[in-house]
Structure 1
Amino acid sequence: MINETQEQLPLAGRVALVAGATRGAGRAIAVQLGTAGATVYVTGRTTRVKVSEVGRSTETIEETAELVTAAGGTGIAVPTDHLEPDQVRALVDRIDREQDGRLDVLVNDVWGGEHLIGGSFGKKTWDIALADGLRMLELGVKTHLITSHAALPLLTRRPGGLVVEVTDGTTAYNGTHYRENLFYDLAKNAPIRMAFGLAKELADTGGTAVSVSPGWLRSEQMLAHFGVTEDNWRDATKKLPDFGISESPVYVGRAVAALAADPERARWNGQSLDSGQLARAYGFTDADGSRPDSWGFMLAKEADPDVRVEDYR
């Protein structure tokens, strides 16, 4: 019976913190960790009574927590601004108290900087509003550092903890491609390096740190941008055929849940990973049963403009 339960709910008894779980990849990661049986603390700035600067009131951390619980885990919403060290320390202290000093998984997914990008890709650094650029670095880098600084003393009390730095892009792609906005480029490369450094620091505790990138993510904001929903997202390929390689947030959620449940995950320590790569390694699929490889497709298309999306799903 125990073995059967462990197989069905491999993360039963485990405690996770998903920082930045209001929507998109963070929400999906939290839900998939819940599906595997974990207790998941979900944080963010948008609640049912307060909206963050992103300006989307339709997604809240309370809803994410409810989805985690409905999936089979235990979702706990804690409003947190991860730029405020006191709030983050209070969050970690709460986890410590409520979970008997246990934290097994830390997912750093805080971002919320899309509204700062509009029209800035391809511009020179000095032509981008400095305040917007620095805010991107605060949201995408400083938040991760504050959260790790506060949470890792708790996570390292037990051997084998997992840290996942969620970003946009992999070493294979970002290492040879400029992301067309220096601030954005720095914000999305920093988590890759953070995971590399934390892997060294966690090694003596048996811990693992990795960076994980979704591919072309069909987040709520991306769907809204194309004027489609998850039910009819393929309609957007009429305007942009390459959108056919996109993936739902479920895909990266399953990637992180698979990592968290893998007793041999230390083999990935320090590496830059993506959802398609992990799908091939662990055998899971996206919500529609496909297995998209967004980053593989983008690299292949540079060599062969006629490459087909269908060959990478």
Structure 2
Amino acid sequence: MPNPYIALVTGASRGAGKGIALALGAAGATVYVTGRSQQEGNAPLPGTIHATAAEVTRLGGHGIALACDHADDAQVEAIFTRIRNEQGRLDVLVNNATVLHDELIRPAPFWEKPLELVNILDVGLRSAYVASWHAARMMAAQRDGLIAFTSSFGASCYMHGAAYGAQKVGVDKFAKDMAVDLREFNVAAVSIWMGMLKTERTERVVAAHPDQYAGFSELAESPQFTGRLVDALYRDPQRAQKSGLVLVGAELAHEYGITDIDGRQPPSHREQLGGPVQAHPAIVA
């Protein structure tokens, strides 16, 4: 296992991706961060890939910003070509890039929300497959690596509507099926269910609806929490045993003895929202 290792976190201008990148940087990794936001004001929410990369470096890692629209396969291919040319390997891929429409969390049936919400199946599901395809070619050749997908309890219960739920179920299935193909190459694939996250987006929502989100901070996870789990998974000499699993992040943290950045152990929401369905062992080639 190389140390420091080389990681790519997609969709890391802000939110979960940024937090994951920071946690990997704090663990000493070289972290490539992708996203579309290169200047403040390019997006409704604060954050850029350059700011994330600089913070990764400040925390002790090596942050490298790569502008990429994950809806464009050619741009995705270009970032993997650059990583191969600069590093000669890729050890960790975190598939986090997605499209979150501002109307996503508005309580309404799916047909009363904009049709554009379906774009989460392009950047969020399809784009994760494309990135994994490129990463798997590198990792299989080096016979080592970890591909992680960020997912949520929305794969189990109704959460934000059909498009969001389908995307989460989809990345869970990617982890299950890619793990089968990657098994003989010592490359693991997992999907991690995150809990409620303290992000720039949720901070804006909580500020607008304080009564509705009372108690949110006591239950929510920092975005760095999942990054700590990804780092522990990659360093775990037995990580192959978890390949193909859909993991509840809070439960994995208990197993590894990992806490959030504030020292808390975030709760699992399995009892309230349901738990993952794992893959059946049958394999039809």
TM-score, normalized by length of structure 2?
A: 0.88
Report whether the alignment pairs 1:216 with 2:196: yes
Verify the 8 A CA contact 1:11 1:37 in the aligned structure 2.
Answer: no
Match in the other structure for 2:99: 112
Aligned-pair identity in percent equals: 35
Q: 2:251 matched to 1:261?
A: no
Deviation of 1:214 after TM superposition, in Å, equals: 1.4
State whether residues 83 and 146 of structure 1, in contact with CA within 8 Å, keep that contact through their aligned partners in structure 2: no
Match of 1:128 in 2: 113
Q: Residues 129-155 of structure 1: CA distance to partner in whole angstroms, max 9, x if unpaired?
A: 32x132121122121122122232112
Given candidates 142, 153, 166, the residue that maps to 1:158 is 142
Which of 163, 167, 174 is the matching residue for 1:187?
A: 167
**Count of aligned positions:** 274
- Residue pair 1:168, 1:188 contacting (<8 A) in 2 also: yes
Deviation per residue, 1:155-185 (Å, 9 max, x gap): 222112100011122xxx733x233511111
Partner amino acid for 2:24? L
SS of equivalent residue, structure 1 residue 167: strand
CA contact (8 A) 1:46 1:61 kept: yes
Is residue 185 of structure 2 the alignment partner of residue 205 of structure 1? yes
Instruction: Tell me the equivalent position of 1:82.
Output: 70
Q: Contact 1:245–1:294 (CA<8 Å) still a contact in 2?
A: no
Q: CA deviation at 1:13?
A: 3.0
Structure 1 position 287 matched with structure 2 position 267: no
Question: Who is 2:176 aligned against?
Answer: 196
Can you give the 5+ residue segments of structure 2 that lack an aligned partner in the other structure? 275-285
CA 1:68–1:190: 2 relative to 1, 3 Å: same
For residues 174 and 14 of structure 1, what CA distance do their matches in structure 2 show?
30
For 1:107, what is the secondary structure of its paired residue?
A: strand
Cα distance change of structure 1 residues 241 and 32 upon mapping to structure 2, 3 Å threshold: closer
SS at match of 1:227: helix
Structure 2 residue aligned with 1:271, among 245, 251, 268? 245
Aligned partners of 1:236 and 1:273: how far apart in 2? 31
8 A contact 1:18–1:40 mirrored in 2: yes
Structure 2: which amino acid aligns with 1:46?
S
Could you tell me how far 1:35 is from its partner in structure 2?
1.5
Worse-matched range after superposition: 84-93 or 105-114: 105-114
2:54 alignment partner, one of 66, 69, 75? 66
> Cα distance 1:284–1:11, how it changes in 2: closer, same or farther (>3 A)?
farther
2: CA distance, partners of 1:174 / 1:256: 20
Q: Could you say what the CA RMSD is over the residues aligned between the two structures, in angstroms?
A: 2.3
1:30 pairs, out of 13, 21, 31, with 21
Letter paired with 1:51: N
Residue 50 of structure 1: how far off its partner (Å)? 7.1
